[in-house]
Amino acid sequence: MERSGTTSPTTSTSTSSSTSGSTRRTFVAGTAVAGAAAALGLEAAVPATAAAAAGAAPAAGQSVVVLGGGVAGLTAAHELAERGFRVTLYERRALGGKARSMDVPDSARGGRGPLPAEHGFRFIPGIYHNLPDTMRRIPFPGNPHGVWDNLVAPKEMMFARTGYEDLRLPLPWSGTPQQLTLDALRRALTGVLGTFQRLPAREIAYFADRLVTFLTSCDERRNNQWEATPWWTFTKAGQMSYEYQRILAVGVTRNIVATKAEEASTRTVGSLLEAFVFNALGRGADGPLDRILNAPTNEAWIDPWVAHLRTLGVEFQLGWTLREFAYDGTKVTGAVVEDPGGSRRTVSADHYVCALPVEHARPTWSAAMRAADPQLARCDKLRTDWMTGIQFYLTERPDGVHGHFDCIDSPWSLTAIAQAEHWPHHDFRADYGDGTVVDCLSVDISEWDKPGMLYGKTAKQCTREEVAREVWAQLKASVNDTGKTVLSDGKLHSWFLDPGVSGIGTPEPRNEDELLIHPVGTFHNRPSAGTRIPNFYLAGDYVAVPIDLATMEGANTSGRLAANALLDRAGSAAPRCSVASLYSAPELDLLKRDDRFRYRLGLPNVFDVG
């Protein structure tokens, strides 16, 4: 049901030429985006009071165009529509962006649905707060807490090793906060890491001390010294064993953060590990450490979200590609969009939210816009890389795989999960495909630029078929190497590689869905959601948010910050969106204050013994 009285923003034909190039977490509720930027140590956008002083019109009846229908764009549309704005969202391909699920073409038989596929498996850990808040506000039949009730917790995580016994870690969750002292932290860390075979005890102790160093570092040291220090250097991985390097350097960065340990920012990696440690200790968490959806993403989340937004009056225009923003030197006057047939129109509104991934957004910003707000130009320094999914459909359940598993020794840094066990409302064989498929093994490929084990080629150099064979071989090498056969060729029905990948096996491989990575210095180039152009806002996982990582939580948070900036500029009296930051343990505050004093004197952290 559409909100009565809503209309789409005006459109007019345009002869504007395309910009060259191709197109792709507690703050107090009510904090303005300028305050958020200051808390992050970033350049503030135009103060909210400036718009009010200039006589900004009341929010009632104002129109907003959101460009991009991923998590960031849907969040911005959700927050603004709830506050009375007329929102129209334009999306080039499919709502949900990288978070969406999709159908395998021509895979349905006998009245069943198509086999479910996805860009990559969805992981919604307990360290997230803003995204779960949104999920609680999306109605779902029979769920008192909406879509959030569709989250389930796998019971274990497995580290699959090539050549010796795999390690299984149970994932219990009580939610009861546990003791937090430095000695307790060290015992917890050494206890977990001590379960890894062949990881030397002295290296475990050293890594625990390095993490304590980070946990007790003040924000100034994190934002400067550790932001400029690669994780490989911080952990002294080059002086350690292969086990240390693969588990605590490569495993943490490439498999989780999708960047190389030799260049990944210690600030980013350390902040993520800190959050997971606190989550495991029951501190400041929304729920268990590991959570996934209990059905394909669109069914469990995206489709109900879109349906709810329609009831709020949001209009969706699909198949339109943003080519550029029209800018008159003062404000954005329109968004030039192109339909599937190549016809262009200029869409006009009072406000514009650019919610495209950074690599697709940058070509739409003119030189004049970049000059008006230098943070747009700094976005050119942000880097993206490939982290893409492939699904294998099985005719037998993989025995002994009961949650996410990390193939630590795999050349392509594979992580995976078998999904059917976690979808209690579906009988896979009865609901999907041709009646012979009983499970979907969803795999993320994090390393696309190193040679594999079958062909000696990188993933980008392989054809789609070679990628599938190579990933399957690496999976089998990881889980079949201790006298058991978890995966066999006879269990494999078919596979599906993300269609956003094209041209692999040729000199021009392309990926429509790259992921922001975090080499040193990235933090200082991430823009605020409110720009210096008074009616133009940014939303996306590259925007500066409390969680310094390209995630669905980051995308959701950026949509909230963009909405807050817009509310300020519009002079709206509506409540601002709440923005929760990552948990900070009060027990460590005194040590952090001491470290700030030491940092300003040019001294190292007291626990940093090199």
Closest CA to 75 of 483, 556, 466, 419: 556
CATH of residue 345: 3.50.50.60
Residue 115 DSSP symbol: P
- pLDDT, one tens digit per residue, over 453-465 is 999 999 999 999 9
Model confidence, pTM: 0.89
Asked whether residue 220 is domain-assigned, the answer is yes
Contact 322/18 with Cβ under 8 angstroms?
Answer: no
Residue 406, domain extent: 109-154+387-511
Distance of CA 203 to the CA centre of its chain: 31
Structure confidence at residue 60 (pLDDT): 55
Q: How many CB atoms lie within 10 A of CB 84?
A: 17
Helix (H, G, I), strand (E, B) or coil at 393: strand
Count of all residues that appear for the chain in the document: 610
Are 449 and 366 part of one and the same domain?
no
Q: Which of 460, 490, 511 is the last residue of a domain?
A: 511
Across 439-447, average pLDDT: 96
d(C-alpha 45, C-alpha 37), whole Å: 8
Q: Which of 464, 484, 511 is the last residue of a domain?
A: 511
CATH of residue 438: 3.30.9
Are 403 and 495 part of one and the same domain?
yes
Those residues whose C-beta lies under 8 Å from the C-beta of residue 114, and which sit 6 or more positions away, are 103, 104, 105, 106, 107, 108, 432, 433
The pLDDT mean for the chain works out to 88
Are 403 and 476 part of one and the same domain?
yes
Helix (H, G, I), strand (E, B) or coil at 251: helix
Across 590-597, average pLDDT: 98
Asked whether residue 473 is domain-assigned, the answer is yes
Are 413 and 506 part of one and the same domain?
yes
Are 210 and 185 part of one and the same domain?
yes
User: What does DSSP say about strands 510-511 and 439-445: parallel, antiparallel, or unpaired?
Assistant: unpaired
Asked whether residue 81 is domain-assigned, the answer is yes
Asked whether residue 608 is domain-assigned, the answer is no
The residue among 51 and 72 whose pLDDT is bigger is 72
Asked whether residue 104 is domain-assigned, the answer is no
Asked whether residue 398 is domain-assigned, the answer is yes
Contact 290/154 with Cβ under 8 angstroms?
Answer: yes
Closest CA to 542 of 1, 158, 68, 124: 68
pLDDT category, 3, cuts 50, 70, 90? very low
Asked whether residue 309 is domain-assigned, the answer is no
Are 393 and 504 part of one and the same domain?
yes
Tokens of 437: 């498929």
Tokens of 250: 């490569």
- pLDDT, one tens digit per residue, over 139-175 is 999 999 999 999 999 999 988 888 877 888 888 877 8
> What is the enclosing helix (H) or strand (E) of 590?
helix 589-600
Using only C-alpha atoms, the chain has a radius of gyration, in whole angstroms, of 24
- pLDDT, one tens digit per residue, over 246-256 is 888 887 776 66
Are 440 and 470 part of one and the same domain?
yes
d(C-alpha 348, C-alpha 602), whole Å: 52
Residue 300 DSSP symbol: I
Q: How many CB atoms lie within 10 A of CB 285?
A: 22
Structure confidence at residue 255 (pLDDT): 61
Are 38 and 24 part of one and the same domain?
yes
- pLDDT, one tens digit per residue, over 396-415 is 999 888 999 999 899 999 99
Are 485 and 544 part of one and the same domain?
no
Is the pLDDT score of 507 beyond 50? yes
Lowest mean pLDDT among 50-54, 303-307, 563-567: 50-54
Are 495 and 547 part of one and the same domain?
no
Residue 153 DSSP symbol: -
pLDDT category, 59, cuts 50, 70, 90? low
3-state secondary structure 359-384: HHHHHHCCHHHHHHCHHHHHHHHCCE
Is the pLDDT score of 26 beyond 50? no
Tokens of 396: 């037998």
Across 271-290, average pLDDT: 91
Are 398 and 479 part of one and the same domain?
yes
Domain count, the chain: 3
Asked whether residue 167 is domain-assigned, the answer is no
Contact 251/406 with Cβ under 8 angstroms?
Answer: yes
Contact 225/267 with Cβ under 8 angstroms?
Answer: no
CA distances from 567 to 64, 531, 535 (A): 11, 13, 11
Across 589-598, average pLDDT: 98
Q: What is the maximal distance between C-alpha atoms in the chain?
A: 74
- pLDDT, one tens digit per residue, over 365-399 is 999 999 999 999 999 999 999 999 999 999 999 98
Are 497 and 404 part of one and the same domain?
yes
d(C-alpha 48, C-alpha 572), whole Å: 11
